[in-house]
Amino acid sequence: MTTAILEHLSTLSVSGQQLRRLPKILENGLPKMPCTVPETDVPQLFREPYIHTGYRPTGHRWRYYFLSLFQKHNEVVNVWTHLLAALAVLLRFWAFAEAEALPWASASTLPLLIYVLSSITYLLFSVLAHLLQSQSELSHYTFYFVDYVGVSIYQYGSALVHFFYTSDQGWYEHFWLFFLPAAAFCGWLSCAGCCYAKYRYQKPYPVMKKICQVVPSGLAFILDISPVAHRVALCHLAGCQEQAAWYHTLQILFFLVSAYFFSCPVPEKYFPGSCDIVGHGHQLFHVFLSICTLSQLEAILLDYQGRQEIFLQRHSPLSVYVACLSFFLLTACSTTTAALLRRKVKARLMKKES
């Protein structure tokens, strides 16, 4: 028996020489990756202020850009922050669903499911945008338009759960009638504003581009967060003991920090060329927005657990179904808007090439 075991183990053993050859074997088995290039070697469209190196060359096959997930370049941190956040959202929700024996078919669960779907969607659309936008000018516009659709979807998914699970009775009595229609309109406006600004303004971007992006998105945030802000303010004035309210507070704080880094090219403005791969403002925006989303998820799960009685008193199954159906209507409207502007971009690029 011992002899047989030793013989079997010998067939599984790997010599030191084979181990030394393993990196070379793996290297030969993977496609060669083009080196990153400085900003002078990519078109103006792909250049970012104060980021001098780490750009991926354009015009390669799609396989290269997918595999650049494992390459060092100035977008890789943006990709991984939201990819890991999407995985964290999925795993946290799955653990919650198993622990709570979540009633998947119940109307009371539907807003939560849509919120989780919208969170994962915006994170993965962001991953696609930062991973694949360097392939060509049309790809750049296309995938950033996809990113803006994801943001719109997430904004309205957040509005749904804030309305159904989080809102305080005083806020609900004043705003229940128009909150969701207004949130849907602001979500579409956010997508339309970002897509139009991307289409309309060329680099170097004027301030108006940032205004077209930030103002609609800011309005959507102010509206969507209003039930949360009202409840958090009342809770803290009363010496807050609610765990969910503290997570909501963190959600607001982390979002405001992320908005700062989205709007301002900091710290790369003060250290040009030093933050190209790690540490520039958009990466910090991604990090804080991911933490914001995870804080929000924890708060919503606690609200879902602890406020079911309030939910059932306020909402009939029909009203929930109608509200959640509007989510898919918003998705269709935002997607259509992005597709129409992409068509205009394609026509402009074809005209430039002819």
| Binding site listing | 130, 282, 286
Binding-site residues for Zn(2+) sit at: 130, 282, 286
**H or E, element range at 250:** helix 243-263
Tokens read off for 222 = 């102010």
Contact 78, 277 (CB under 8 A): no
Taking CA atoms, 346 is separated from 69, 138, 139, 140, 159, in Å, by 27, 6, 10, 11, 33
What residues contact residue 327 under an 8 Å CB cut-off, 6+ apart? 114, 118, 153, 156, 157, 160
Burial of 252 (0-12, 13-18, 19+ CB in 10 A): middle
* Measured torsion, CA atoms of residues 345, 197, 220, 218, in degrees rounded to the nearest 10: 150
Tally of CB atoms within 10 A around 22: 10
Specify the DSSP class assigned to residue 206: P
Burial of 49 (0-12, 13-18, 19+ CB in 10 A): middle
Q: Please confirm whether the linkage preceding 181 is cis (ω < 30° from 0).
A: no
Per the listing, tokens 């170097």 go with 204
